[in-house]
Amino acid sequence: MSIIHQLSPHRSMTGATHCSQFKLLARMYPSWNPKRFILQPHIIEKFIRTYINITLIMLKIDGSYGEGGGQIIRTALALSTVTGIPFEAYNIRKGRSRPGLKAQHINCVKSLEDLCSAKKADCYIGSEKLTYVPDKIKAKTLNIDIGTAGSISLLLQSTILPAFFAEKKIKLNLTGGTTGKWAMPYDFFNSVYLPHIRKYSEKVYTTLVKRGYYPKGGGKIELNITPKYKLSDFRDFKEFHAYLKEQQQPINSIKQYNLVQVKGVSHSSTYLEKSEVADRQAKAAKVILSKLNCPINIRTEYCNTLSPGSGITLWAIYSRDNEEINFNNPIILGSDNLGEKGKPAEKVGKQAASGLLKEIESNAAVDRHTADNLIPWLALFGGEIRTSEITEHTRTNIWICEQFLGKTFEIDERENIIKTNF
């Protein structure tokens, strides 16, 4: 009888099942030499722990559920790393024109390999299956080059949650795209999303070193996190999650209160400075927003970049008693738009401003794009939010969180309110 079979508590498994699990382990540990197995006790311990994890608690995730996109994988990676529950995803991006894993998903896995010594199998471009087994989150500096204009914010959907719960300070040096299609631009991440979760760290801040547009990217961001809640201080995730709930630090964003001001950043590469693209975007946005009874401050910026491009991010700041922002429960609504070839700068600014007005007029306290990104934090800390629209992305994120944590959310469809049941 093999040493793994003797130590596995799940002895009722068939030989065929053991064989399939060993094949999976072999793909996760390609450098393992069976002839030296008995002489490597630290490898034996890791090997056995991984084996028991994938045998007893491996979570099966249907990657085609709901919206069926890459967010299922990104959120699953984050929650798996925090909870310690390994998963096997299948039907990844099924039905898309190019199904399976994309380069951005591979980069997410690679970053978590560095962060927590995770093991993976079937992790290659086009694979419709992925097995992921996390280990303990470490404190370190990570240098991650996504390549070309792959979105930095999409990668952070996998890494920021576990990074918040590391044992010590973490620094992420990220290279890739800072503005792109179907992804949160840097300014939205920094000024709209990050304020909602800042209270869950001792300190968190970003530095925009360089902007990066499609197709060459080359943008650089530094993210520094000093953790407040350290997963390593607890025996297991169950104990850790109970502690987080006891801290009574929920996200409660239901009412807008008083609109204090609208801020924004309109940016462009220096290639487009002669055409005053950033200024024209900002001016057009201000015209649309002039109906609001509050100050409007949109900063313009021209940057040296590898590829020409532009974009604009706007955010409305609310307050209960006229202070600029309450970091315990900030009320910030955001909107953004991307400059594209053949699209007038005025249209870029107008669309961003119209999007923000729509969020403001909905009486929501959280915009629809921020809402889906807050779901994992709500699942851990509790709370309730009112959003302008419960998108398919948000519903899918709720579903994937509940695969790891059990029934957690309740939805009021009429009021667009999402709340936790604890």
For residue 383, list its beta bridge partners: 251
**267 flagged as catalytic:** no
399 is written with which tokens? 């579903």
- The closest of 222, 228, 81 to 158, measured between CA atoms, is 81
State the Cα–Cα distance between residues 208 and 300, nearest whole angstrom.
15
**Which strands make up the sheet holding 251-253, listed edge to edge?**
251-253, 383-386, 417-420, 409-412
CA 188 to chain centre: 13
* DSSP string of 119-139, one letter each residue: EEES-STT-SEEEEE------
Identified catalytic residue from 196, 241, 369, 393: 393
Rounded alpha-carbon distances, angstroms, from residue 64 to 258, 305, 406: 41, 37, 20
The H-or-E segment that residue 318 falls in is strand 310-319
Torsion of CA 244, 105, 305, 193, to 10 degrees: -20
Catalytic residues: 393
